[in-house]
Structure 1
């Protein structure tokens, strides 16, 4: 169930927006309210909102300051700003902060509903992007995009590595496969890929693990083995160092993101 948080110090506006959206959502959304940005931030410390609808002019912390604070959070909600003042500088700053819509009071009910529907579509898009960023190593993506510019030995090395990733493969193994001097191959690989062979190998193994964590129900031990790690303990250490979370937590995060999209 989507959650909408309405933030406005004017009770009439706050309740009016709530009633319109409760009628529109017909129970599909959880709708809650806050009478100030301070109250909203306190609520958000304990709860999550998919969408925040906030007035601009409020005591203590105004709407734009609230939006700025929301952007600092790990999973910021999408935001609609409402205002009784058609001031360009407010609207311009709101758009700079990534606000989805800037609505003027008195609020048109149809435009409010339209803005909320747009905001939820935007949230889906943002969640998809976030999920892709979690899944894809941008450095590896860059090497893939430039692969057609690599020399034949480097292309063959990458292909051989992908095919034998589950094995305890080393740079010397690949250099021997290519009938090349290991030191020369190391320099050639770094020069063309922009990554050392060791860094590339680690990133590929972590990438393989992320794909398996996302798309299968294999255990951490099984995934460690398929990603080329001899022990699950070492795999967890490398994964945490690279991704900032354990493999198990990564799986939970990605699963949560997918449920949010649906």
Structure 2
């Protein structure tokens, strides 16, 4: 897991370096704490790398803090934002909130207030990343099936629960039918009618969703992910994954890992 980046933007060297010193002591190496002396420099940094938390002064020459936030928004750059200012006028706070600021700190900033604001921002970053991961992993057709599951016959609900709990194992229709005390042919008809997938389609989609979760959230090698998702050989796993997702598991991992760190 790569460390995250905090960017401090302030035209006053003393304030800028004081904030950086306090945050470096707090971060203990877990965060990169960068600084910029003006809005233009800040945009340059945010264009070239992911900034997770932006701490910016409002009153700066040339590009103000609020203008910086507007430019970032227009360029589709969305860090979690903390604004600092020596000015307490409500109009600034109001505009800052409109631009997505989560905290508004007045100078002089106490170390306690700074750390509390940054810890809140870290929690916000983590929530956003979890939401982003869920969105990327989720199979919308499975979500639809899950939404309707509560109205399914009990045998189908039990079958789905059994499948979900045994994805790693070899799953046959007969095994699941035996578990829910149904004839395999009848289970097949019932499953298609209520879940809108064939038995094998549902199992495949569930396994690939499990694989996507592991690809994004772990560093496990493809071989292990194939096994954890119920595939005996990586070659067959890669083939099925590519059919469903349009890319190999390795490409999927690379594309999605670039998003967050």
Per the normalisation by structure 1, the TM-score is 0.66
Q: Could you say which residue in structure 2 is the equivalent of 1:179?
A: 185
**Residues 4, 89 of structure 1: alpha-carbon distance in 2 compared, 3 angstrom cutoff:** same
Q: Answer yes or no: is the 8 Å Cα contact 1:135–1:207 preserved in 2.
A: yes
Name which of 64, 68, 75 aligns with 2:73.
Answer: 68
CA distance in 2: counterparts of 1:181 and 1:2, whole angstroms: 49
- 1:5-29 Cα deviation digits (max 9, x unpaired): 1223xx32x5413213404533735
Note the 1:15-34 alignment, pairs <5 A: 15-23=14-22, 25-26=24-25, 28=28, 30-34=32-36
Q: Could you say which residue in structure 1 is the equivalent of 2:105?
A: 103
CA distance in 1: counterparts of 2:183 and 2:162, whole angstroms: 9
Aligned length: 247
Note the 1:226-237 alignment, pairs <5 A: 227-229=229-231, 232-233=234-235, 235-236=237-238
Q: Which runs of 5+ in 2 are unaligned?
A: none
**Matched residue of 1:16: which SS?**
helix
Q: Which runs of 5+ in 1 are unaligned?
A: none
CA distance in 1: counterparts of 2:162 and 2:123, whole angstroms: 42
**Matched residue of 2:100: which SS?**
coil
CA distance in 1: counterparts of 2:24 and 2:154, whole angstroms: 58
**Residues 219, 44 of structure 1: alpha-carbon distance in 2 compared, 3 angstrom cutoff:** same
CA distance in 2: counterparts of 1:97 and 1:242, whole angstroms: 38
Q: Could you say which residue in structure 2 is the equivalent of 1:42?
A: 44
**Residues 23, 231 of structure 1: alpha-carbon distance in 2 compared, 3 angstrom cutoff:** closer
**Matched residue of 1:107: which SS?**
coil
Q: Answer yes or no: is the 8 Å Cα contact 1:157–1:178 preserved in 2.
A: no
Q: CA RMSD in A?
A: 4.5
CA distance in 1: counterparts of 2:116 and 2:259, whole angstroms: 24
Q: Could you say which residue in structure 2 is the equivalent of 1:202?
A: 204
Q: Answer yes or no: is the 8 Å Cα contact 1:18–1:31 preserved in 2.
A: no
**Residues 127, 184 of structure 1: alpha-carbon distance in 2 compared, 3 angstrom cutoff:** closer
**Residues 135, 184 of structure 1: alpha-carbon distance in 2 compared, 3 angstrom cutoff:** closer
**Residues 155, 118 of structure 1: alpha-carbon distance in 2 compared, 3 angstrom cutoff:** closer
CA distance in 1: counterparts of 2:252 and 2:101, whole angstroms: 29
Residue 222 (structure 1) shift: 4.9
CA distance in 1: counterparts of 2:114 and 2:209, whole angstroms: 42
Bigger Cα displacement from structure 2, 142-151 vs 132-141: 132-141
CA distance in 2: counterparts of 1:79 and 1:56, whole angstroms: 12
Q: Answer yes or no: is the 8 Å Cα contact 1:63–1:81 preserved in 2.
A: no
CA distance in 1: counterparts of 2:41 and 2:156, whole angstroms: 58
**Residues 199, 69 of structure 1: alpha-carbon distance in 2 compared, 3 angstrom cutoff:** farther
Residue 228 (structure 1) shift: 4.7
Name which of 117, 120, 126 aligns with 1:118.
Answer: 120
